[in-house]
Amino acid sequence: MMSLCRNLAVLLLFLIASPLPHSHLFTHATSTAPATRPRIIFLTGFGSEGDDDDDDEDYEKPTVSTQVVKSVQNTLVHQAPKLCHYDFCLENQEPCDQISAKTGCLCPGVSGGDQPPHSPRIQELVPITRGGDRGKIEIRWCAPSSVVTAYKVVIEGGEVLEFEDVSRRGLVRSMEVGTNVCVQAVNSAGHSIPSEFSCMRYQHLNLLTINC
């Protein structure tokens, strides 16, 4: 009986001193388990100054690009009306209404041919002092903003001279100081009404100034 007890004690000590199989497996599983790694954040690009809030979910970026805005602006510019290249005081030009019909440009303030034209603007009465026309008077005027088929120069006393629609000047005979001269614009609907800027009195002072 004593021998049996001694054997049991030796066996117990042996089991305590020896590592258990399951303990070895536990240790191996613990050593091979993946370790927890820190989270890595990758930065794909950097914004310009003032773009710190680009990642904020509450921030909404504009949906209209700069190119779209510029395209709309260019379209509006191209659609703006274009004025005709026309000088009302330059002689032998093509009439503005004909230029408009060809190019689609606008003649600002031009009345149609179904209405009497506005009054032209007389610029000056210039005495001719040289050449074959010496002693005559040159009249210069600017066209009105109307359809014109001809011009008439009316000299006080009843003399009337007619000029083409492209004309902006005309020669008339010598006249006395103070003679009133008017330029009328004419079309199929009638003629312009004389006004303070379409009429001028001839002044002999002009002739004296040129001869000095």
Q: Report pLDDT digits (tens) over 112-140.
A: 778 999 999 999 999 998 899 999 999 99
Separation of alpha carbons 127 and 204, rounded Å: 9
Sign of CA dihedral 50, 55, 58, 59: positive
| Per-residue pLDDT, 121 | 97
| Per-residue pLDDT, 147 | 85
| Residue entry with tokens 């613990």 | 30
Taking domain 96-211, whether its CATH number is 2.60.40.10 is answered by yes
Separation of alpha carbons 166 and 151, rounded Å: 9
List the chain residues with pLDDT less than 70: 1-81, 108-109, 204-212
| Per-residue pLDDT, 36 | 55
| Per-residue pLDDT, 146 | 86
| Per-residue pLDDT, 24 | 47
Model confidence, pTM: 0.56
Q: Where are the chain's structural domains?
A: 96-211
